Amino acid sequence: MAKRSPGLRFQPSGGERKAQVPVGKKQRLVIERLAHDGRGIAFPDGRSWFVAGALPGEDVEVRVLGARSQVVEARTERIFTAAALRRAAPCAHAGRCGGCSLQHLPHDEQLALKQRTLADQLQRFASLEPEEWAPPLVGPELGYRRRARIAVRWDAKGQRLEVGFRAMSSQDIVAIDDCPVLVQPLQPLLRALPALLSGLDKPQAVGHVELFHGTQSALLLRHTTPLSEADLARLRSFCVTHAAQLWLQGAGEPQADQAGQPLGYRLERWGLELQYRPGDFVQVNGGVNEAMVAQALQWLAPHTDERVLDLFCGLGNFALPLAQAVREVVAVEGVQAMVERARDNARHNALGNLHFFHADLSKPLAEAGWAAQAFDAVLLDPPRDGAFEVVRQVGVLGARRLLYVSCNPATLARDAAELARQGYRLKRAGILDMFPQTAHVEAMALFEAG
């Protein structure tokens, strides 16, 4: 093969490659519209700029956070002309803390953005629109979060402990003395936490801290080396003062400092209490969770003589209320520890018509003994990856009604397209505002066999 002349230049087929935009560069932009994740979008020089904290129509100065090919990610540094709908953020840390991205957008506009996102995904990936749009399921826009993970890092150079939340698009930690989205019982723990952790004999041993609130408040401390007796005494005294359980996690699973302490949450409408352990999946928004369960039962409209399948059942969040309304519930979960916890919850609530199974839901359902008999209805609440393998096989279950609870509109739309291919109609859909002040979209969709 002949060698190429060193004097020749070869350009990509698309033409001359543009110079990469350097991180840290400042740029003035006019924002044209919002992306699904709530960032503003501008298109200077043929590139797509995604700008955190910017709204359509705004003239802003931004700082580049990263760039690849024709896409640039940036954050707002200065606003020259503000949009009429911009509001003052309710949190003093907005724009720096990475926990909330939409506080500058009024709540009704946040809901409209999430509704558009769901509708766009269903149309784009499934060419579907529901026969009926349900109004958004909402709760308070602040003071809703009953679980929070607190970042902790030892600064060896400064000989100090950093405590707070991760900064936006960074591993930096923003010190937080007040978080408006946390439920009120966790606020005093959050405010007092930095002083507690900094006062430990070995603060560098702290990995992270999680706060929980349900039937009781709880504090989980992840530690990388054993704690001294003095530090244990400090932690115990702190938890007694704040009426919180203490949980510790070293190399293994989280353990309660005092054995036998139940940690749980209540579903008041059904008189149910579900117990869990730190590390289990629990919806962070208690009020919207209860309203979501009620709406799921209303849409699914189960009859007392029916047999219902609950897939990805977790702790039994849907399965236990369903069991009060139907003849039998078969509940399936992919995490063995959660299956055991769900069984315990059924026993604790004196429900005998529930049957729990551990199964890999990416495998064919026909191989599972629990799927041998037909079901009248199916409820599924999968993780962000969705439930494509399940919906591909849903025909073997015989159910004419299927309720899908989603935390990712893109995978919901993909799965909805498969259900439509099998003859299911999208009867109803709507958003669930589980995470106000963020662009995270949860949704519910009801399908019926044609």
Evaluate whether residue 17 is within a structural domain. Answer: no
Section 207-220 average pLDDT: 96
**Per mean pLDDT, which range of 37-46, 162-171, 237-246, 352-361 is the poorest?**
162-171
Evaluate whether residue 93 is within a structural domain. Answer: no
Evaluate whether residue 20 is within a structural domain. Answer: no
Position 7 pLDDT exceeds 50? no
Evaluate whether residue 4 is within a structural domain. Answer: no
Position 260 pLDDT exceeds 90? no
- Judge if 75 and 121 occupy the same domain: no
Section 186-197 average pLDDT: 96
Evaluate whether residue 92 is within a structural domain. Answer: no
Position 1 pLDDT exceeds 60? no
- The larger pLDDT score, comparing residue 107 to residue 9, is at 107
Position 5 pLDDT exceeds 50? no
Q: Catalytic site residue 97?
A: no
Section 18-29 average pLDDT: 90
- The larger pLDDT score, comparing residue 8 to residue 288, is at 288
Position 161 pLDDT exceeds 70? yes
Query: Is there a contact between 280 and 306 (Cβ–Cβ < 8 Å)?
Result: no
Position 231 pLDDT exceeds 80? yes
Give residue 436's pLDDT band: very low, low, confident or very high (50, 70, 90): very high
- Judge if 209 and 314 occupy the same domain: no
> pLDDT at position 70, please?
93
Position 33 pLDDT exceeds 80? yes
Section 381-396 average pLDDT: 94
For position 153, which CATH number holds? 2.40.50.1070
- Judge if 163 and 311 occupy the same domain: no
**Tally of domains in the chain:** 3
Give the burial string for 229-245 (b: 16+ CB within 10 Å, else e).
eebbebbeebbeebebb
Which residues contact residue 309 at a Cβ distance below 8 angstroms, ignoring those fewer than 6 apart? 329, 330, 331, 332, 371, 375, 377, 378, 379, 397, 399
- Judge if 293 and 432 occupy the same domain: yes
- The larger pLDDT score, comparing residue 5 to residue 42, is at 42
For 281-332, the DSSP string reads ---SBHHHHHHHHHHHHHHH---TT-EEEEES-TTTTTHHHHHTTSSEEEEE
Q: How far apart are CA 34 and CA 54, in angstroms?
A: 8
Section 276-293 average pLDDT: 96
For position 54, which CATH number holds? 2.40.50.140
Q: How confident is the prediction for the chain on average, in pLDDT?
A: 93
- The larger pLDDT score, comparing residue 70 to residue 8, is at 70
- Judge if 244 and 290 occupy the same domain: no
Domain final residue, candidates 256, 273, 294: 256
Domain final residue, candidates 51, 71, 86: 86
Evaluate whether residue 277 is within a structural domain. Answer: no
Evaluate whether residue 341 is within a structural domain. Answer: yes
> pLDDT at position 170, please?
80
Structural tokens at position 228: 């001294």
Section 388-409 average pLDDT: 95
Evaluate whether residue 318 is within a structural domain. Answer: yes
List 91, 100, 239, 407, catalytic entry: 407
Backbone angles phi, psi at 183, to 5 degrees: -65, 150
- Judge if 215 and 360 occupy the same domain: no
- Judge if 118 and 77 occupy the same domain: no
Position 421 pLDDT exceeds 90? yes
> pLDDT at position 261, please?
86
54-97 pLDDT per residue, tens = 999 999 999 999 999 899 999 999 999 999 999 999 999 998 89
pTM over the 0.85 mark: yes
Other CB atoms within 10 Å distance of the CB of residue 336 = 9
- Judge if 295 and 234 occupy the same domain: no
- Judge if 122 and 152 occupy the same domain: no
> pLDDT at position 17, please?
63
- Judge if 130 and 173 occupy the same domain: no
For position 433, which CATH number holds? 3.40.50.150
- Judge if 187 and 129 occupy the same domain: no
Range of the domain at 79: 26-86
> pLDDT at position 11, please?
41
> pLDDT at position 2, please?
42
300-358 pLDDT per residue, tens = 999 999 999 999 999 999 999 999 999 999 999 999 999 999 999 999 999 999 999 99
- Judge if 131 and 192 occupy the same domain: no
Domain final residue, candidates 86, 101, 127: 86
Percentage of residues in the chain having pLDDT higher than 70: 96
